[in-house]
C-alpha cells in the first residue's frame, strides 16, 4: 500500500517542477500529469522509494535526466506528450519497471539495449519520437503485452526475436522506414490481438506464416507496403478479426472466398491489382460497416448477396465491374457513401433507393442508360451526386430540386432535359 502519495494531475499548474521536490525522500507516488509545467525535469527527482512517476502531457523540455536510472523501485514511468529531446538514457535499467511510456516527444538516437532487457516490462511505448537505427535484435521481454514503436525513423528489419514475446497482444511498428521480410516467428506470438505494420517496406507477404497461429488477432493493418502475391487463404482462419487493411500494396490474384470472418467490421483492399469477381461470400460478413475494394482489376457482376445490414460505406469504384446495379444495394438502410464510378456497369439506375442516410452517391463513368429515377430526390441527406459520363437520357426529375442543397454533376453522353424550375 502506498504510504506517501502526491497526485496533482490536471490542476492547471504553471512553471517548472521545483528542485525542492527532492526533499520528499519517502515519496512513493508522484503524478503531475496534464498540467502546464515547463523547463527540464530536475535531477533531484532521484527519490529512493518512488514507485510511480507520471509527468505526461506537460511542456517539459530538455533531456531525460540519467538520475531516473537510480529509481530502483520504480514500476511505472510516463513522460509522454512533452517536448523532451536527446537520447534515451542507458541508465533506465530498472528491474521492477512494468510500464514505460516516452512517446510523443522529440527523443532521438537508437533504442538502448537496456530498454529491451527490462524483464518485467508489460507496456512499452516509444511512439511519435525521432528514434532511428535498427530495433535491437535481442528482445528479452517475456511479460510484454503492448509494444508501440510507431512513427519514428527506425530502419532495418523486424528482429526474429519478436517471436519470443509470448504474451504480446498489441504490436505497432507503423510509420517507420523498416524493410525486409516479415519474420515468420511472428506466428509464435499466439496471443496477438492487433498488429499495425503500415509503411513497412517489404515485397514479401506472410506467405510462410499461418494466420491460424494467431487466433486472437482482431486488427491487421499492412497497408502502404510493397506486399505482392496473393492474399493468403489462411487469413480466413482469423475468427476474431474485426479490421483488415491491405490497401496500397501490389497484391494480385483473386479475393479469397475463405474470408469467413464473422466479426469483421472494416475491410479495405484499395489500390492493389486484385482480379476476378467479388466473392458472394462477402455477403456473409453481416457485421461489416466499411467495404472498400476500389482501384483494382475486379470484373464480373456486383453480387446480389451484398445485403449487409450495418454497411455505411461501399466503394467499388475504378474496377471493371459489369452488369447492372443490383436492387439489393438500394436496401442498405445505413449506407452513407456509395461509389460505383469508373466501372462498366450498364442498365438503369434502380428505382428503389431506400437509403435515408446517404450523403455521397457516385455512379459516374459507367454505361448506365435510361432515366434518372425520381426516388433520388427522396434522399434527404444527399450532399454529393455524380451521374456524369453515362448514357442517361430523359428529363431530370423535379424531385432533385427539393432536396437539401448539394453538389450535382450530370454531364452525360446524351442530352438531359432540365425542368423549368432548374432554370429560374
Find the mean pLDDT for residues 71-75: 96
Average pLDDT in the 346-364 region?
A: 93
The pLDDT > 90 percentage for the chain reads 65
- Spell out the CATH class of 324-424: alpha beta
Identity of the highest mean pLDDT range in 5-9, 57-61, 152-156, 383-387: 57-61
Predicted confidence (pLDDT) at residue 297 exceeds the cutoff of 60: yes
Q: Kindly tell me if the per-residue pLDDT of 404 is higher than 80.
A: no
3-state secondary structure the chain: CCCCEEECCCCCCEECCCHHHHHCCCCCEEECCCCEEEECCCHHHCCCCCCEEECCCCEEEECCCHHHHHCCCCCEEECCCCEEEEECCCCCCCCCCCEEECCCCEEEECCCCCHHHCCCCCEEECCCCEEEEECCCCCCCCCCCEEECCCCEEEECCCHHHHHCCCCCEEECCCCEEECCCCHHHHHCCCCCEEECCCCECCCCCCCCCHHHCCCCCEEECCCCCCEECCCHHHHHCCCCCEEECCCCEEEECCCCCCCCCCCCEEECCCCEEEECCCHHHHHCCCCCEEECCCCEEEEECCCCCCCCCCCEEECCCCEEEECCCHHHHHCCCCCEEECCCCEEEECCCCCCCCCCCCEEECCCCEEEECCCHHHHHCCCCCEEECCCCEECEECCHHHHHCCCCEEECCCCCCEECCHHHHC
Q: Where are the domains of the chain?
A: 1-109, 324-424
* pLDDT at 2 exceeding the cut of 50: no
Quote the pLDDT of residue 255. 95
pLDDT at 78 over 80: yes
Instruction: Give the range among 29-38, 337-346, 348-357 with minimum mean pLDDT.
Output: 348-357
Same fold across 1-109 and 324-424:
yes
CATH architecture of the domain 1-109 equals Alpha-Beta Horseshoe (3.80)
State the average pLDDT for the chain: 89
* pLDDT surpasses 50 at 208: no
Amino acid at each position: 500500500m502506498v504510504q506517501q502519495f502526491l497526485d496533482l494531475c490536471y490542476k492547471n499548474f504553471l512553471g517548472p517542477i521545483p528542485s525542492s521536490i527532492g526533499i520528499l525522500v519517502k515519496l512513493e507516488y508522484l503524478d503531475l500529469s496534464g498540467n502546464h509545467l515547463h523547463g527540464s525535469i530536475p535531477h533531484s527527482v532521484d527519490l529512493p522509494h518512488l514507485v510511480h512517476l507520471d509527468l505526461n502531457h506537460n511542456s517539459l523540455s530538455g533531456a531525460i535526466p540519467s538520475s531516473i536510472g537510480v529509481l530502483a523501485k520504480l514500476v511505472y514511468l510516463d513522460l509522454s506528450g512533452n517536448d523532451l529531446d536527446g537520447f534515451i538514457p542507458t541508465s533506465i535499467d530498472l528491474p521492477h519497471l512494468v510500464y514505460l511510456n516516452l512517446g510523443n516527444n522529440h527523443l532521438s538516437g537508437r533504442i538502448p539495449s537496456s530498454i529491451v532487457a527490462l524483464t518485467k516490462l508489460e507496456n512499452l511505448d516509444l511512439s511519435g519520437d525521432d528514434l532511428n537505427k535498427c530495433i535491437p535484435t535481442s528482445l528479452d521481454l517475456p511479460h510484454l503485452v503492448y509494444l508501440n514503436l510507431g512513427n519514428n525513423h527506425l530502419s532495418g528489419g523486424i528482429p526474429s526475436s519478436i517471436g519470443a514475446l509470448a504474451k504480446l497482444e498489441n504490436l505497432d511498428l507503423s510509420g517507420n522506414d523498416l524493410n525486409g521480410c516479415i519474420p515468420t516467428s511472428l506466428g509464435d506470438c499466439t496471443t496477438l490481438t492487433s498488429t499495425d505494420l503500415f509503411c513497412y517496406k517489404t515485397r514479401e507477404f506472410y506467405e510462410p506464416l499461418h494466420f491460424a497461429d494467431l487466433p486472437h488477432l482482431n486488427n491487421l493493418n499492412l497497408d502502404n507496403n510493397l506486399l505482392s502475391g496473393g492474399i493468403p487463404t489462411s487469413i480466413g482462419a482469423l475468427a476474431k478479426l474485426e479490421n483488415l487493411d491491405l490497401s496500397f500494396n501490389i497484391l494480385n490474384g483473386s479475393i479469397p472466398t475463405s474470408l469467413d470472418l464473422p466479426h469483421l467490421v472494416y475491410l479495405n483492399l484499395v489500390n492493389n491489382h486484385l482480379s476476378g469477381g467479388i466473392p458472394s461470400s462477402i455477403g456473409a460478413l453481416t457485421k461489416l460497416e466499411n467495404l472498400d475494394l476500389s482501384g483494382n482489376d475486379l470484373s464480373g457482376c456486383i453480387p446480389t448477396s451484398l445485403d449487409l445490414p450495418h454497411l455505411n460505406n461501399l466503394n467499388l469504384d475504378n474496377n471493371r465491374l459489369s452488369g447492372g446495379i443490383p436492387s439489393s444495394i438500394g436496401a442498405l438502410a445505413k449506407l452513407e457513401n456509395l461509389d460505383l464510378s469508373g466501372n462498366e456497369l450498364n442498365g438503369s439506375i434502380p428505382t428503389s433507393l431506400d437509403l435515408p442516410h446517404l450523403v455521397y452517391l457516385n455512379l459516374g463513368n459507367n454505361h448506365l442508360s435510361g432515366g434518372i429515377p425520381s426516388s433520388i430526390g427522396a434522399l434527404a441527406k444527399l450532399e454529393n451526386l455524380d451521374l456524369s459520363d453515362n448514357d442517361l437520357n430523359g428529363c431530370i426529375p423535379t424531385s432533385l430540386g427539393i432536396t437539401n442543397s448539394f453538389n450535382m454533376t450530370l454531364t452525360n453522353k446524351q442530352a438531359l432535359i432540365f425542368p423549368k424550375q432548374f432554370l429560374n
